[in-house]
Amino acid sequence: MPFEIVDQEEQRLVAVCESVDRYLADRKGKIAEHDAKIKAFEVERLESQCPREKDRLTREIRNLSQYDPAKYLSVFDQVDTPYLAGVAIHDDNPRIGKKHILLGKQGLVDGVRVIVADWRKAEISKLYYEWEESEDYEDDIAGQERSGKIERKIAYGIRKRDLISLQTGTGRLEKAGGCWGEPVEGANASLSRKEAAEDHRLVDIVALISREQFGLITRQTEGCLYLTGGAGCGKTTVAIHRLSYLLFNDPDLFRPHRCLVVMFNRSLRDYVKATSTDLLTDKLPVETYHSWAQQALRRLGVDPIFSASAGKGLEGAKKSTLFYRALKEYASLPNASDPPLADLGRFFADESLLQRHLGRGKKIKEFLAQGDRLLSGARELSFDDAGILLHLRQLRQGREEVEGILGWYDHIMVDEAQDLSLIELKSLEYATSKRRSMSICVDAKQKILDFVDGSGFAAFQVELQSKGLASGELKVSYRSTAQIMALASKVAGIPEGKVVNEGSEPRFHSFSHEQDALRHLHRSVKALLASDDSALTAIICRYKNEAQAIFKELRDIKGVRLQTSSLTFEPGVLVTNAHQVKGLEFSGVILWNPSKKAYPITDLGRNLLYVAITRASGKLAIFHHEPLSDLLTGGAA
């Protein structure tokens, strides 16, 4: 890439920032002028003694209020990063000719001139997303037949109004220490952007959206979009951008308070909440499945006591496809007049029905005991019962609309759907409006709840085929380096796919005993924090109690945090466990003692280890004091 482009683009940024300041000052002035007029009329009305004059002034105030500039001049929030991508075109229409179009998270107009186009305006942004550099374009753009050539596409790195990187089809330039140059060979671009900004949330992909991803984001509004792909391919990010696109382009059909994002656990929920502020409004709920289901039950006037001990040992049965069939048969029986908890108790106590679907055995007796407790007035339920009770009430209600429960949501996005049971998936489907607009993200290799019946999702997918199911597979990995993904593919037993970033090989550190491993870990963490205090590294243990023990050994080091539920994004070292990190990413990962026992040759062992490895964006180190899992050594059968 020629260095001459730097001066041109730095000047462009200065000019755009001047337009931003001019727009904001003009908006502030118009609002102040409008408010002053309203204030003057209100003072005049207060001082007037004539009823007819008071009425006239009231009408003036009412009419003037309809043209409040605070309403029609939107706030431009992207002051520090006004745009993220640009496309230089040479249109065949001489009235257009050469033009440089900038794309950002918000549109900006200076007078009548468009300075930045919102990336969600597909009729404009598709020039950037659907064609490559040097390609000829020919399409209906903004209602007109247009043709020409894409001369250059640029992805901009801007931090606090400072241009720090430029990426085109011919190369990448970065600014370090005030000087521009080519990036260090093997550097992870997304990682360097995060560390430069000291912000380890999801990477902003507006400038990085591929033609394939753009097609999925702008897909039809009705029916279900089923997104598949390996770790780091952007399923979650594409689904969130799709929802943002729908909200922007059709606000009458997609209302924020009637859309829902469902994440796998609290860590991922908090991660997305913090990440999606530029894409999704505060009015749009982001929940785990269980938090949503419990809120829905409260709306129905049902407020049970949830306990981890209630119904223990029945998780597998309750998450099975056979159990869903039993629930559906039971819901067809005329027991709608029963109170909700008693209705659920009667279902659990229906021995013959459960035996027809689940067979005979000890679990039937446990269901009968739980049913008897509920019928005698107990309110204690297991967390798994939330979805069962909710779907039972949905089936009882019929198809009428009930706020937040039935036929209500304009769009529901479901992440990590492979770890939801068929009952849970059906309850979400029933909660959508008649259009059944959904985005569902799935990766079978990241299924980490072994008690969830995998056939349930397959059955759900078959049902959706008749309701407008469209599918898309994302095949390019953007998060982890090729070297990390090679190891992950070996563990998962899948072919290596296309990977964007290159990096160093994963490093294995073997120790003779645990105390030796802990001493080296302590030294390594101290050295890591001393050499780079802008990175976010995770020490991923297999179990929660193991993470707590590791943290105890490292807690004297400033910058080390224990994270077993919610997640923060400050740089440092995070000690956590494998079940907590699905969907998250870190600059580097230290995988702690992935032994044969921790990660056996089972589907669960493979999937958990695959998830742990693929959380690393740039660096992966493996510390172990016991024999490594066969999944890592190649001894897997």
Cβ neighbours, 10 Å, residue 118: 19
User: Which residue type does 615 have?
Assistant: R
Q: Of 307, 279, 137, nearest to 209 (Cα)?
A: 279
pLDDT in tens, 436-492: 899 999 998 999 988 898 888 888 888 887 777 788 888 888 889 999 999 999 999
Query: What mean pLDDT value characterizes the chain?
Result: 90
Task: Please name the residue that has the structure tokens 């659920």.
Answer: 344
Cβ–Cβ under 8 Å, residues 592 and 550: yes
Cβ neighbours, 10 Å, residue 300: 17
Q: Which residue has the higher pLDDT, 326 or 219?
A: 326
pLDDT at residue 632 tops 60: yes
93 backbone dihedrals φ, ψ, rounded to 5°: -75, 115
pLDDT of residue 1: 59
| Secondary structure class of 355 (helix, strand, coil) | helix
Q: Which residue has the higher pLDDT, 634 or 626?
A: 626
Q: Of 112, 114, 120, 111, nearest to 101 (Cα)?
A: 114
Cβ neighbours, 10 Å, residue 65: 11
Cβ–Cβ under 8 Å, residues 245 and 119: no
- 224-229, strands of its sheet edge to edge: 286-288, 259-263, 411-414, 438-442, 224-229, 470-474
Dist CA 504 CA 392 (whole Å)? 52
- Mean pLDDT, range 346-364, rounded to an integer: 92
Query: How many alpha carbons fall within 13 Å on the CB side of residue 604?
Result: 14
Cβ neighbours, 10 Å, residue 78: 17
pLDDT at residue 398 tops 50: yes
pLDDT in tens, 110-126: 888 999 999 999 999 99
Dist CA 374 CA 471 (whole Å)? 42
N-terminal to C-terminal alpha carbon distance within the chain: 48
Give the lowest-confidence range in 204-213, 310-319, 444-453, 594-603. Answer: 204-213
Chain-centroid distance, C-alpha 318: 27
Cβ–Cβ under 8 Å, residues 159 and 197: yes
pLDDT at residue 241 tops 50: yes
Handedness of CA 81, 82, 84, 87 (dihedral sign): negative
User: By CB neighbour count within 10 A (0-12 exposed, 13-18 middle, 19+ buried), where does 290 fall?
Assistant: middle
Handedness of CA 626, 627, 632, 637 (dihedral sign): negative
Q: Which residue has the higher pLDDT, 336 or 47?
A: 47
Structure tokens at 223: 């029916």
pLDDT of residue 103: 96
Dist CA 61 CA 40 (whole Å)? 10
Task: Please name the residue that has the structure tokens 């959206």.
Answer: 209
pLDDT in tens, 4-15: 899 999 999 999
Cβ neighbours, 10 Å, residue 296: 25
Structure tokens at 570: 């400050």
pLDDT of residue 191: 47
Query: Running DSSP on this structure, what letter comes out for residue 256?
Result: G
| Secondary structure class of 264 (helix, strand, coil) | coil
Dist CA 481 CA 188 (whole Å)? 7
Give the lowest-confidence range in 3-12, 185-194, 521-530. Answer: 185-194
pLDDT of residue 197: 46
Dist CA 258 CA 272 (whole Å)? 18
Tell how strand 507-510 and strand 586-592 pair up: unpaired
pLDDT in tens, 539-563: 999 999 999 999 999 999 999 999 8
- Mean pLDDT, range 87-96, rounded to an integer: 95
pLDDT of residue 636: 45
| Secondary structure class of 472 (helix, strand, coil) | strand
SS (H, E, C) 56-114: HHHHHHHHHHCCCHHHHCCCCCCCCCCCCEEEEEEECCCCCCEEEEEEECCCEEECCEE
pLDDT of residue 4: 84
| Secondary structure class of 632 (helix, strand, coil) | helix
Dist CA 427 CA 430 (whole Å)? 5
pLDDT of residue 459: 87
Give the lowest-confidence range in 116-120, 217-221, 464-468, 518-522. Answer: 464-468
% of the chain beyond a pLDDT of 70: 94
pLDDT at residue 188 tops 70: no
Structure tokens at 83: 């745009």
pLDDT of residue 367: 95
Bridge partner list, 621: 507, 590
CA distances from 285 to 169, 218, 280, 292 (A): 38, 22, 9, 9
